[in-house]
Structure formats: structure tokens, C-alpha cells
Amino acid sequence: MSAYDQAGLARAAVSEVGAALAALAPDTVEQVCDELLAARRIACYGVGREGLAIRALAMRLFHCGLDVHVVGDMTVPPLHRGDLLVVSAGPGAFATVLALQGVARAAGARVLCFTAQPDSQSARAADRVAVIPAQTMADDREAATVLPMGSCYESALLLLGDLVALRVRDRTNQSSVDLRNRHTNLE
């Protein structure tokens, strides 16, 4: 029976996610912030584990004081010109993401798409694309990564969301206390 190397697997997983973040285009965070800060209202959407990372981004942007909502919640308002839909389509496209992109664009809103597939249908349907160069379900090769399926992309998306929130905080001249004051007290 072989020994389970938890520490080694953890180092390999962190290395894979770190490599994906290190390979981002140098202006990725600034371009994402430009879109977010130019928007009057922001709606966020993703499916599965990507959806969890997008919800985390929405929460952090709310803490930064932005008017942000999660598609599917009962209180999400309609989007119009001047608004932004933020979606994640790591493997390139999901039917629901494409449909929401179409609705948002028809209403005059801009679309920001996080993806690992820059030439995909969802990327082409977006006004701005943030490419996260990480393995997804579209290119799942067991020998290529220690993390399963799309975990590297999803984890990198989660951390990129925090990097974006930190930059939004800085660009809007806020402190960590300002963000903390917007955190819910209903926990």
C-alpha cells in the first residue's frame, strides 16, 4: 500500500493554481476593474463550481460598495444600458450563459466573460474577456494536472475575484474597515 502524500498534493495543487494566476495577461485585473467601476449596476452568473466563485466575487464587490446582484436571486433587477453582466464560461460556453449574454446585450448592457477558452462562443459574445489559462472540463487530461476536471480554473477564478476586489477597494480609496462595515450582521 502506498503512502498518501497530502502535503505533496497540496503543494502541487497550490502550484497549479498559482501558475494559472501568474500566467494572466498583465492588465487583466485592471481591465476587469475598468468594466466594474464603469457599470451603474452589475449582475453576476456562473454555473456549478464556477457559479460559486462568481457568487464570491459578487459578495466582495458588494463589500466594496458596488451595486451588484447574482442572477437567479429574487431581488436581481433588470439590466439596461450602462449596466454589466459578469459571467464565467471556463470551458467556453454554457447554454444558460449564452442565453443571458444575449438578453443582457439586447438590453444594452455590456458583458464581461471569464473563460479559459478565448476563442469560444461565450468569449465572442462578450464585450470584454478575462482569460484564465487553466484546465477546465473542455481540456481535462488526468496526466496534466493533480487537480480534477475544472478545479484549477475554478480555484484561480475564486482567487482572481479577490484580487479584483482588492484593486476595486484601492481604486475607490476604501479601507478594509469600509468593506467590513458592509458585511452582513445576520450570520
pLDDT tens-digit readout, 119-163: 999 999 999 999 999 988 777 666 667 888 889 999 999 999 999
Whole-structure pTM value: 0.94
C-alpha cell of residue 9: 498534493
Domains of the chain: 7-177 (3.40.50.10490)
- For residue 60, CA distances in Å to 65, 97, 140, 162 come to 9, 21, 29, 7
Which element (helix H / strand E) includes 60? helix 48-63
From CA 1, how far away is CA 127, in angstroms rounded?
Answer: 53
The pLDDT of residue 137 is: 77
Q: What is the pLDDT of residues 76-109, one digit of tens each?
A: 999 999 999 999 999 899 999 999 999 999 999 9
Interval 172-183 mean pLDDT: 94
Tell me what the pLDDT averaged over the chain comes to: 94
- Judged against a pLDDT cut of 50, whether residue 30 lies above it is answered with yes
Catalytic residue among 16, 35, 50, 154: 154
CB neighbours (10 Å) of residue 107?
13
Which strands, in side-by-side order, build the sheet including 84-88? 68-70, 42-45, 84-88, 110-115, 128-131
What distance in Å separates the CA atoms of residue 139 and residue 144, rounded to the nearest whole number? 10
Is 154 among the residues known to form the active site?
A: yes
Q: Is the pLDDT of residue 182 over 80?
A: yes
Give me the mean pLDDT over the 157-180 stretch: 96
